Structure 1
Amino acid sequence: MNGDRTKSSTTSTPTRVGVLGFGGLGQAAARLIAPKQEMQLVAVADLKGYAYTSAGLDLDKCLAAYQSQGSVGYIEAGGTLSNQSIQELIEVSADVDGYFLALPNLPNTFIASVAQLFIKSGWRGVLVDAIKRTSAVEQLLELKAQLLAAGITYLSGCGATPGLLTAAAALAAQSYAEIHQVKITFGVGIANWEAYRATIREDIAHLPGYSTESARAMTDEEVEALLDKTNGVLTLENMEHADDVMLELAGICDRDRVTVGGVVDTRNPKKPLSTNVQVTGRTFEGKISTHTFTLGDETSMAANVCGPAFGYLKSGVSLHRRGIYGLFTAAEIMPQFVK
């Protein structure tokens, strides 16, 4: 199994990776991996099927099958239609080194339930998610001992926020003796909300009067009606975002000092505002100051989520090959760049 390998990550053999979920984020993840030399996409699962071949999947065929027929399961070489796609893929893909869980966390217990499938299967390797909610990460924390015993290295909250911005906050915090506030503000621009249906529903779940359950139950027509009322813009404040528990676990600051909010424009690819994290604190000399880390407006949500996710997956593989298993977060481990 994977945990017994001694090969170095610097060898010419690429890391075999899979993507669970093939909506907007999953497809972007597959596109990001395609030109990489250090990683090879060998497994993909969607709601209606999966595709797996140890020789590597053809990205164009995966995209064509999903977009024309609704599932990668229709691919001739390696495709399988299934209503239990994730579970079946796990069973037939023991040689996959790591998976990016590009899955919607609706319901809020979904990611933890997928982690349990991996634990029960006997598979050993690396799992990375781009989870959002604090309560969802807390569910994974309850599985920490089981993940360790199963020989799984799991890195949680490894997207943009939580993820890239959380890690930046952890690094920026080093200038201070005490952290007063971590404020994360994001701007997302997409031309068509239907390309990221699950992500938008997760955002809607953060609006007053909505929950993960009610957002999940909304039809596309109901989502469109809501967006019509807001001119396509969602303004989110004081979100339940796992940046808080991740920074608390890393010893940076108490979770009540972390706030996350942002603006999502579902009808314009241009960001409505620049995504940034501000870390305010007191230095050892007694000075109060603020570090600000701002993402370039030209970088998309997909770039800022999928890039870090695979960077953390590479770090996870390095840890796993050294026999280090269990649960970690983006605030504890530095991502490695995937070439």
Structure 2
Amino acid sequence: MITNKVGNPIRVGVLGFGGLGQAAAKILDPKGEMLLVAVADRQGYVYDPAGIDLDSAISTYHSSNSVGHLESGGTLSSHSIKDLIDRAEVDGYFLALPNLPNTFMADVAKEFIASGWKGVLVDALKRTSAVEQLLELQSELQQAGITYLTGCGATPGLLTAAAAVAAQSFAEIHTVKITFGVGIANWEAYRATIREDIAHMPEYDVETARAMTDREVAALLDKTNGIISLENMEHADDIMLELAGICDRERVTVGGVVDTRNPKKPLSTNVKVTGRTFEGKISTHTFTLGDETSMAANVCGPAFGYLKAGMALNDRGITGLFTAAEIMPQFVK
């Protein structure tokens, strides 16, 4: 069992409390090895060293748009992330934040570096260019005593790691093809995630998607019957597999279908790794996720598995930037 340095459960903070952040909190709630002690949203934060009351946090967020309104431990703040970092004693944070604009996650990392905080950070970044920005902070993160694991969701993340393991059967990797299917009953539960997906659509980019009002997003989804189809996305699986020495990024493709009106997946999420064995045979490994597992389960579960692995590294003095294709996640009990 991995604990913090005083032998207690790992004290966890979640930055962002939209659909993904709330799902992350629900996944943590029954865990014994991790304790949710801190949450921040745009307007405030809550910190409770004894553990946050999840039901109260979610109901307060829905009724008041911020956990800062919580009577117990809540604080309203226009600089919620900075203020929380300064006040809370947290071993590791899951950055369940929308990377809008595309520099946002790197900017948050710089806040942690500047604060003097030491510990583990985990994100579920999607874009290759966003991961490249974090790579530029490698030495600063290392010197700051921060172990940062990036691209630790589903894709990039779970499927990237599966591809890295599957690649071991081959002498040469020809292609890695990731195809995802996501089903959600109501897009408004995952507004930031859907905007990030829209940013990958033809004729859209990060700034366009970020500037869209909820009404404009709804109008776009009306035109597509709630379906977002994506091909050849700028997805960090490519740079992560390249950094891990699996294959050149040009051999990695990512695409999928998001149904914003139906919780059932429109297609099964999978990764296919095709290569040549040492005997000269061409073959394909396929790893398919169960259709019953939600986007939240496939993103947040791995994120906390990587956070636990990051704690083990950090406790040994190993700091800097790592990806989901380099480190094996550890199961959180």
Answer yes or no: same fold by TM over 0.5.
yes
Between the aligned partners of 2:6 and 2:32, the Cα distance in structure 1 is: 11
Matched-pair contact (CA < 8 Å) for 2:3–2:10? no
User: What pairs up with 1:317-328 in 2 under 5 angstroms?
Assistant: 317-328=311-322
Q: Look up the match of 1:37.
A: 32
Between the aligned partners of 1:33 and 1:244, the Cα distance in structure 2 is: 29
Matched, 1:234 2:228: yes
Between the aligned partners of 1:56 and 1:33, the Cα distance in structure 2 is: 11
Alpha-carbon distance change, 291 to 63 in structure 1, aligned in 2, over 3 angstroms: same
User: What pairs up with 1:311-322 in 2 under 5 angstroms?
Assistant: 311-322=305-316
Q: Look up the match of 1:103.
A: 97
Matched-pair contact (CA < 8 Å) for 1:12–1:38? no
Task: Give 1:53 deviation, angstroms.
Answer: 1.4
Q: Look up the match of 2:131.
A: 137
Q: Look up the match of 2:68.
A: 73
C-alpha offsets along residues 178-234 of structure 1, whole Å, 9 cap, x if unaligned? Answer: 000000000000000000000000000000100000000000010011000000000
Partner of 1:313, secondary structure, is helix
C-alpha offsets along residues 128-156 of structure 1, whole Å, 9 cap, x if unaligned? Answer: 00000000000000000000000000000
Q: Look up the match of 1:123.
A: 117
Between the aligned partners of 1:321 and 1:11, the Cα distance in structure 2 is: 11
Q: Look up the match of 2:280.
A: 286
Partner of 1:103, secondary structure, is coil
* RMSD, matched Cα: 1.1
Matched-pair contact (CA < 8 Å) for 1:9–1:318? no
Partner of 2:326, secondary structure, is coil
Q: Of the candidates 288, 299, 318, which is equivalent to residue 293 of structure 2? A: 299
C-alpha offsets along residues 224-257 of structure 1, whole Å, 9 cap, x if unaligned? Answer: 1100000000000000000000000000000000
Between the aligned partners of 1:12 and 1:31, the Cα distance in structure 2 is: 23
Task: Give 1:11 deviation, angstroms.
Answer: 8.1
Q: Of the candidates 211, 216, 227, which is equivalent to residue 210 of structure 2? A: 216
Matched-pair contact (CA < 8 Å) for 2:4–2:91? no
Between the aligned partners of 1:228 and 1:126, the Cα distance in structure 2 is: 41
Between the aligned partners of 1:83 and 1:336, the Cα distance in structure 2 is: 35
Between the aligned partners of 2:35 and 2:4, the Cα distance in structure 1 is: 13
Partner of 2:258, secondary structure, is strand
Between the aligned partners of 1:220 and 1:69, the Cα distance in structure 2 is: 18
Alpha-carbon distance change, 163 to 255 in structure 1, aligned in 2, over 3 angstroms: same
Matched-pair contact (CA < 8 Å) for 1:154–1:316? yes
Task: Give 1:13 deviation, angstroms.
Answer: 1.3
Task: Give 1:44 deviation, angstroms.
Answer: 0.1
Q: Of the candidates 246, 255, 258, which is equivalent to residue 261 of structure 1? A: 255
Matched-pair contact (CA < 8 Å) for 1:163–1:331? yes
Aligned residues, how many? 332
Between the aligned partners of 2:155 and 2:127, the Cα distance in structure 1 is: 10
Amino acid of the structure 2 residue aligned with 1:167: A
**TM-score in terms of structure 2 length:** 0.98
Between the aligned partners of 1:24 and 1:54, the Cα distance in structure 2 is: 23
